[in-house]
Structure 1
Amino acid sequence: MTWKTLRRASDIPFLIVGTSLTAYIGFAAFGFIRNSSEHYSNFILGIVLMTGFLAIRNLCDERLGIPDPETGRQRPRKPLFWPRLVFAFVALAMSSVAMTYVRYNAVHLETTQPFFGRTDMIFGWLMTISILMLTLIHWGWLLTSVVSIAIAYFFFGHMIQNPLFITPKYSAEFIMNYIGLGTNQGFYYLAQVAADSIYFLIIYAAILLGVGMLDMVLELGKATGRKVPGGAAGPALIGSGIVSSIMGQAVSNVVLTGRLTVPMMVRYGYRRPMAGAIEATASTAGQIMPPILGLAAFIIAGFLNRPYIDVALSAMLPGLLYLVGVGIAIFVYAKRNELPRLTAKLDAGMIWRLLPTFVLSFGVVLWLLLGYRSPAIAGLWGIVVALGLCVFQGKYRPSLRKLYGAVSEGFLLVAILSLLLIAIGPLGQVMLTTNLSGRLGSVLVEYLPDNQLLLLLGAMVVSLILGMGLPTPVAYIIVALALVPFMQQIGVPALQAHFFVFYFAVFSTLSPPVAVSVLAAAKLANSSFLQTAGESLKIAMTTFIIPFAFVYSPELMAFPNLTWHVVPALFQVLLIQWSVSVAAYGHVFRNLARWERGAMGIAALCGFLGMTDQGDWFLASQLVLATAIVVIAFATRESGPSELQS
């Protein structure tokens, strides 16, 4: 058998299972299939089949030298090819057999839990091991290790002597029930979110890319970039921000849009590390902007028992403040370095032809979500509208081959992301069942100082550390279960507490030493990782204040029910963001001297302390310092400090 034949033999069943599962979830969305243990067992069976076939297909692509569809680059030849191929076949076979057994015995397993027989336990172990194998293939050793350690802790936690971590001694049947064999815990913990909420929204996002949304939003970015200094960053900020808000994944978005935006910025005078940093920070915006929020909005809604759309709308103002903060930093950098406006040719026809497809389909999705219809229904109708309107795009109408590729890419994305949510279920289940999260919160309250700002700074550091190198939903679940109970004990409302730790779990993708988004952007920019990470942190300093802002000013999360009380809070945040940018890049009317930048940094710090209720005189100090620097810079704009002084 040739590699092409094997690839076809894995690709065809992948597409068949994907099509069948999509039709099945569609019928379930309209109420033709009852949500039950059998229903979610069917879903997990479909996902393990798709990811198993996908693992084999990817290895065939590696052997054939077929480029990765996400990066456009040829897959590197990794060592141990034959063991990895055998591993993929074993994972596919084990997961298929185990989940088939669980599916056809779902009612029996649900009604007899946790009193499982020996055969049930054998297939429970096969299910657990095979899902971990698929997770290792698609998500790497770090996530697999975290989930495996959590499961091992469930079994052996009673042997730990430390009173903080010790657990009761549970029977193997009890543990296997909570890992997933009981069909409503563990691996099923977030499978419901994947099946009922994200499935059609992810496919809708892939369809939008297939009908040309990426090219259209990049052209929108060009249109903006022709009007402002340093406009070459416009396609990255606007294009990456919009695309990532639909995709919800920072690293994949860096690769998707950065191939086009980073070279453009370099051509227009941006230093390579800065070009990579702009793309990384702009792509990260998608994880905190509605509607997807890196999948975390659905999990937050589940934790809070609130409608998804309410949670997503709460994130609107903080998400916009993030983009504005990044934009301010880019503008100040561009003025300091006298970067030109963008002069690249603009395809206005593309914008006018493709904009209705995006606006109308997205409008339908938003209207249905605002009407509290299920995300599955909203995503499904978004797909229908986008496909219906794309035929009227004239010369920009996508070919059938391109639409086929978009559907295939949608199946790939939804399979991989659903596997992620399935795999991390036991992690959350262990922390809840053993009450580890509650005990951690009690310890933090006991040992940390009795000052809310210092406690929040401690929570920020812990969130950044726990989120390193992990996918956003995983990082969020870990920090939420570990820290939200503690934050609620110190008086932070539940919604703000969840979003606080979520934001810093997201920011961990920009923070060394791991900084996966920065690493991807540095490769595209052909620049040093540390230099790119440094520039990313300088830009991100304008956004690190946002979680503190909505904790101390909850009205920032009251969208769309806003009052005039939100205006002072917005002004405070914007003033601090501007002060931070001026201090970091040293320009206002002219390039600033070091002492002027230092004074502006002190002004930003005073603003932050005033915003966090440490005293009104801090706010007054910020206004006085910032105003003084602006007046001095304006008065001496023609005879400012020499380049050596600045």
Structure 2
Amino acid sequence: MKEKLEFQEAEIDQSELLEKYDTEARFRKLDRNTIPGLIVFIVCVGLSLFHLYTAWQGALVTLMQRAVHTSIILALVFILYPFSSKSRKDRPTVLDWGFSILSLALGAYIVFGYNSIVLRAGMPNQTDVILGLLAIITVLEGARRIVGKEIVILALIFLAYAYLGPKLPGMMAHRGYNIKQIAEYMYLSTEGIFGIAIGVSSSYIFLFILFGSFLQSSGMGQFFNDLSMAIAGSTKGGPAKVAVVSSGFLGSINGSAVANVVTTGAFTIPLMKKIGYEDEFAGAVEAAASCGGQILPPVMGAAAFIMAEYLGIPYIKIAISAIIPALLYYLGVIVMIHLRASKNGLEGLPKSQLPKVSEVLKERGFLLVPLIVLVYMLVSGKTPIYAAFFSILMTIGLQVVVRIAKKETKGLFMDIVNSLESGARTALGVAMSCAVVGIIIGVATLTGFGLKLAGAILFLGNGVLILTLFFTMIACIVLGMGLPSIPAYIITATMAAPALAKMGVPPLVSHMFVFYFGMLANLTPPVALAAFAGAGIAGGNPAKTGFQAVKLALAGFVVPYIFAFSPALLMVDASPLIIAIAAVTAVIGVVSLGAAVEGYMLEKLNAVYRIGLFASSVLLMIPGVPTDIIGLLIFLGIVTAQKVTKGKLVEA
């Protein structure tokens, strides 16, 4: 599509920003004409083909499948990611090659010695213990390079906790485990490094990341941008709404809030600044929208697959349950954007500069077909593995047909191969997060730490659900600080969700609650990586951008409390009528909350009206007919009063 937008945009070095805020972007740019570059290319393509083959023919034995997946991922990490910022960027060092070969050896030991390992389960020999210790060191070092030091420090604290158990005071004490026991548990079982998290990574997550890679190479990112511009670009505060729509779509597929902020924000943030939004607000809009993609079906940034595995329920049930809360989150962001635009008189972009919906759909609408088919297959009961595999094949097939029809077949085969490589590269960070989190969760399971933390939360909550929810929220934000959404969810689900379960909160509700707050840790200062990335593009103050992002995402902090008290919002054990009432009252509550926070509805709100709208939002979010009626009456009363004062309704 011919670009119609004409605006001056400051030069933004996306790679530099990504490297600053996202450790996954700090990789070596190896040329394929060099031996290291060629090795990485071949191994990445081979890894993607391995996962496609096992999706088609069936996975290997559990421990073997996870070992192959993890060892190859680790080997790639050590070649691509330098030891430090001072290390060579043009080629791997001897240390890197050593770690890479060791990673492959650790996987090969399990694959080729699997029968012997099973026969001596619980009685490890000296080789098992040595390799187990090396596996722990290797995973920690690989995670440090690609995920960051925060999660490695947390893993080291947990390993020390497992070893020092008898020497710890009070309720923190436990029987303690020696090095031999820890090494075997972490390396030769499906509870440590090769636990549920890496299991989901080696089955569902890799395939969905590969699916996203093929969509991206087909032009999905540009399609979402163009479609969003066509739909919302001309409305009040249009570019900000474009950021919300496009980042929501893209964030659901790629699962990385920081990467989403940088890629989409490079286009949307300058547009927001051009029509009059402040630097901090523009960066915050992109951060809030990008983070929200991880709670938006159908893909939900891949964390939903881990949730499905933990809870033992079909993935599609989680995706369906997440729809209303996710839409409420985005409604809250859009309401505040619209009200800010109305208050400051910010208009959208001229329609003459925007693409038309029909043109966008005509050119790239075929990209929606694989997504529609994916959702249909999941709804019809197909497994996520089958659905992802079939959707990947369909995406490739469509790409081939469209390129042939347009007579643009030059380089088609290499584009497909490049997507295989790109998918494997993108999966490295997620897989390493899952591997190192396996250590943390393994210790929590081995020592009972998760139950102790749940007990502490229950003690602080003193049997009152709202207090228990509050302390669970704090625990999730602290545990998820500086972590990607997937490890943040896994940790909080293991250590914080049990507290809610003991209070009688349904499992799906408790897991969704901790998932939301683990995700929101990306926005919450002092460590708000997504907001900091947005500030880097907008040129705003990082701290102020973080607080603006929290303000915009306020609905995300409230909605989990709503569905904790009213599971109908998650469509759990409720009739269609009850679900509809819960959704409608929540929508009005979110609008009321946005107006109260922004200080504007049909016109500027005075302090009394703002307090009234805040009270209305709280009442509408509390389940129960009496509170709903009172909250609705307050809301309608203030709207009517403003309408009389203003004399007319504000334009939608």
TM-score, normalising length from structure 2? 0.88
Mean CA deviation greater in 398-407 or 409-418: 398-407
Deviations 1:117-162 (A, max 9, x none): 1122111111111111111111111011112222222222222122
Q: Aligned partner of 2:367: which letter? A: F
Supply the distance in 2 between the matched residues of 1:320 and 1:639 (Cα, whole angstroms).
Answer: 28
Structure 2 CA distance, aligned partners of 1:275 and 1:136?
31
Counterpart of 1:432? 445
The separation in 2 between residues aligned to 1:396 and 1:579, in whole angstroms, is 53
**Unaligned runs of at least 5 residues, structure 2:** 1-27
**Residues 447 and 594 (structure 1), Cα distance of their counterparts in 2 relative to 1, 3 Å cut:** closer
The counterpart of 1:377, out of the listed 362, 376, 386, is 386
Instruction: Confirm or deny: 8 A CA contact 2:460 2:471 kept in the other structure.
Output: no
Deviations 1:175-233 (A, max 9, x none): 22221223564334422211111111101101111101111111111112245211112
Tell me which amino acid in the other structure corresponds to 2:380.
G
Aligned-pair CA distance for 1:522: 0.8
Q: CA deviation at 1:568?
A: 1.6
- The 2-side partners of 1:485 and 1:48 are apart by 32
**Alpha carbons of structure 1 residues 447 and 341: separation in structure 2 relative to 1, 3 Å:** closer
- Name 1:459's counterpart in structure 2: 472
1:42 aligns to 2:42 (yes or no)? no
Bigger shift: 585-594 or 470-479?
A: 585-594
Pairwise mapping of residues 129-168 of structure 1 onto structure 2 (< 5 A)?
A: 129-162=137-170, 164-168=171-175
Q: Distance in 2 between matches of 1:357 and 1:156?
A: 58
The structure-2 alpha-carbon separation of the partners of 1:3 and 1:462, relative to structure 1 and needing over 3 Å to count, comes to closer
- Percent of residue pairs identical: 26
**Which residue is equivalent to 1:20?**
46
- In structure 1, distance between residues paired with 2:627 and 2:66: 54
How many angstroms apart in 1 are the aligned matches of 2:572 and 2:161? 41
Q: Does 1:523 pair with 2:546?
A: no
The CA distance in 2 between the partners of 1:45 and 1:540, in whole Å, is 38
> Structure 1 residues 194, 226: closer, same or farther in 2, change over 3 A?
closer
**Residue matched to 2:19:** none
Query: Secondary structure in 1 aligned to 2:496?
Result: helix
Counterpart of 1:97 in structure 2 is 105
Is 1:261 matched up with 2:268?
A: yes
Counterpart in 1 of 2:616?
603
Task: Identify the residue that residue 74 of structure 1 maps to in structure 2.
Answer: none
**Residue 635 of structure 2 corresponds to which residue in structure 1?**
626
Deviation at 1:402, TM superposition (A): 5.1
Question: What CA distance in whole angstroms lies between the structure 2 residues aligned with 1:565 and 1:547?
Answer: 18
**Does residue 52 of structure 2 align to residue 52 of structure 1?**
no
**Which position in structure 2 is the counterpart of 1:204?**
211
Say if 1:373 and 1:10 are closer, same or farther in 2 by CA, change over 3 A: farther
- Superposed, 1:56-205 pairs within 5 Å as 78-79=85-86, 81=88, 85=93, 87-162=95-170, 164-182=171-189, 185-205=192-212
1:317, CA displacement in angstroms? 1.6
Is the alpha carbon distance of 1:397 and 1:636 closer, same or farther for their aligned partners in structure 2, counting shifts above 3 Å? farther
State the Cα distance separating 1:342 from its structure 2 match.
Answer: 2.2
Q: CA deviation at 1:559?
A: 7.8
Q: Which moved more, 1:525-534 or 1:621-630?
A: 621-630
Letter in 2 for 1:428: I
Q: Single out whichever of 106-115 and 571-580 deviates more from structure 2.
A: 106-115
Instruction: List runs of 5+ in structure 1 lacking aligned partners.
Output: 60-76, 641-646
The answer as to whether partners of 1:189 and 1:429 remain within 8 angstroms in 2 is no
1:287 aligned residue (282, 294, 297)? 294
Question: Which deviations, in whole Å up to 9, do the C-alpha atoms of 1:467-507 show, x marking residues without a partner?
Answer: 11111122112222222221111111111011111111111
Give distance in 2, aligned partners of 1:364 and 1:606: 40
Report the equivalent of 1:415: 428
From the superposition, tell whether residues 429 and 576 of structure 1 become closer, same or farther in structure 2 (CA, over 3 Å).
Answer: same
1:339-354 matches, within 5 Å, as 339-343=346-350, 344-346=353-355, 348=357, 351-354=360-363
The letter of the residue matching 2:584 is: F
Report the CA distance shift for 1:438/1:351 in structure 2 as closer, same or farther (over 3 A): same
- SS of 1:446 mapped into structure 2: helix
Q: Which amino acid aligns with 1:45?
A: S
Distance in 2 between the 1:402 and 1:232 partners? 32
Contact 2:55 / 2:203 at 8 angstroms: preserved in 1? yes
Give 1:357 shift. 2.6
| 2:288 maps to amino acid | T
1:306 aligns with 2:313: yes
Q: 1:201–1:157: structure 2 CA closer, same or farther, 3 Å change rule?
A: same
Q: What is the CA distance between 1:620 and its match in structure 2?
A: 4.5
1:252 equivalent to 2:256? Answer no
AA aligned to 2:134 is: L
Q: Secondary structure at the match of 2:181?
A: helix
State the 1:290 CA deviation: 1.7
Structure 1 residues 258 and 397 mapped into 2: Cα distance closer, same or farther (>3 Å)?
farther
TM-score (norm 1): 0.89
Distance in 2 of aligned mates of 1:342 and 1:91: 53
SS of match in other structure, 1:587? coil
8 Å CA contact 1:124–1:176 kept in 2: the answer is yes
Shift of 1:561: 8.4
CA distance in 2, matches of 1:128, 1:526: 41
Q: Which amino acid aligns with 1:150?
A: F
Choose from 478, 496, 514 the match for 1:483: 496
Taking the aligned partners of 1:605 and 1:255, their CA distance within structure 2 comes to 35
User: In 2, Cα distance between the equivalents of 1:245 and 1:100?
Assistant: 35
1:30 has 2:56 as partner:
yes
CA deviation after TM superposition for structure 1 residue 22, in Å: 2.2
The question of whether the paired residues in 2 share the 8 Å contact of 1:314 and 1:557 is answered with yes
2:304 equivalent in structure 1: 297
Aligned-residue offset at 1:587? 1.9
**Distance in 2 of aligned mates of 1:272 and 1:242:** 23
Give the paired residue count: 615
Post-superposition Cα deviations, 1:163-183, rounded to whole Å, max 9, x if no partner, equal: x21121324332222212235
Judged with a 3 Å threshold, the aligned counterparts in structure 2 of structure 1 residues 622 and 96 are, in CA distance, closer, same or farther, namely: same
Q: Counterparts of 1:501-540 in structure 2 under 5 Å?
A: 501-540=514-553
2:569 touches 2:579 (CA, 8 Å); kept in 1?
A: yes
Range 491-500 or range 594-603, more displaced:
594-603
> For 1:544, which of 557, 571, 575 is the aligned residue?
557
